[in-house]
Amino acid sequence: MRILLIEDEIAIAGFISEGLAEEGFAVDVAHNGKEGLAMALDHLEEYDLLLLDWMLPGMSGIEICRNIRKQRPAFPIIFLTARDTVDDVVFGLETGANDYLRKPFAFEELLARIRVLLRSSAGEQTVFRHKDLELDIARHQVLKSGAPIELTQKEFALLELLLRNKGKVCRRSRIIEKVWDIHFDHDTAVIDVYINALRKKLDTAGQVSFVQTIRGVGYRVNDD
């Protein structure tokens, strides 16, 4: 899952993006309204959610929200702001934000709201299965034949992407877009390293791998 954060306060932006990265999200940050809107519109299909500050240099969060809504009416947007009168809250939501979080907030609350919003925008499914594997997003847990398997955050994000797209090829470019952030240096060999790590943890000896290599294109988990 890839998130765009538009927030001009450097310390807050750093705190949020580091926390989300630890939770396995790919996060891009813009510190200026105009720059943030440009990033959003350039990559709108790649982002899954926008965290948007209200008061920003260059362009306000409200204007950014309106612009994005014209392109993608259902795009998940959470406002982050110190403005907290009831009128402001109502105005923010009427402008098209899905949710609204007042500063200062606890990171855990932000995370919970992000997960709720991503769940509702992606449909209700939170558990994905393939043969003896089970990935549970709400519990952030992977089971193999019922036994928990420890995955790193990036491994978890990659497995989630593959299982969400079961039966379809995940192209290498799409894997990079969804699992790594904009600062990624474009050596896509890192994908193969992570796929190999997943195979070591999840494959059963003597059986074909849970994930198939589509040479030169990407990876696919076959339908059962």
How does DSSP assign 93-145, residue by residue? HHHT-SEEEESS--HHHHHHHHHHHHHHHT-S--EEEETTEEEETTTTEEEET
CB of 160 to Ca ion, least distance (A): 31
Q: How many residues bind Ca ion (CB under 5 A)?
A: 3
Nearer of residues 24 and 36 to Ca ion, judged by Cβ: 36
Among residues 55, 90, 127, 214, the one that binds Ca ion under rule CB under 5 A: 55
Query: Which residues make beta-bridge pairs with 20?
Result: none
Spatial CB neighbours of 7, under 8 Å, sequence gap ≥ 6: 13, 16, 29, 30, 31, 51, 53, 56, 80
CB of 52 to Ca ion, least distance (A): 10
Choices 46-54, 66-74, 112-120, 186-194; region in contact with Ca ion by CB under 5 A: 46-54
CB of 9 to Ca ion, least distance (A): 6
Distance (Å, whole) CA 71 – CA 85: 29
Does the protein bind Ca ion through residue 53 (CB under 5 A)?
A: yes
User: By the 8 A CB rule, do 160 and 151 touch?
Assistant: no
Nearer of residues 55 and 214 to Ca ion, judged by Cβ: 55
Nearer of residues 53 and 155 to Ca ion, judged by Cβ: 53
Query: Which residues make beta-bridge pairs with 26?
Result: 2
Choices 47-55, 102-110, 153-161, 183-191; region in contact with Ca ion by CB under 5 A: 47-55
Q: Write down the residue that tokens 């696919």 correspond to.
A: 220
CB of 68 to Ca ion, least distance (A): 18
Nearer of residues 53 and 177 to Ca ion, judged by Cβ: 53
Does the protein bind Ca ion through residue 63 (CB under 5 A)?
A: no
Distance (Å, whole) CA 45 – CA 25: 16
Does the protein bind Ca ion through residue 132 (CB under 5 A)?
A: no
Distance (Å, whole) CA 57 – CA 156: 36
- In the complex, the residues that contact Ca ion under the rule CB under 5 A are 8, 53, 55
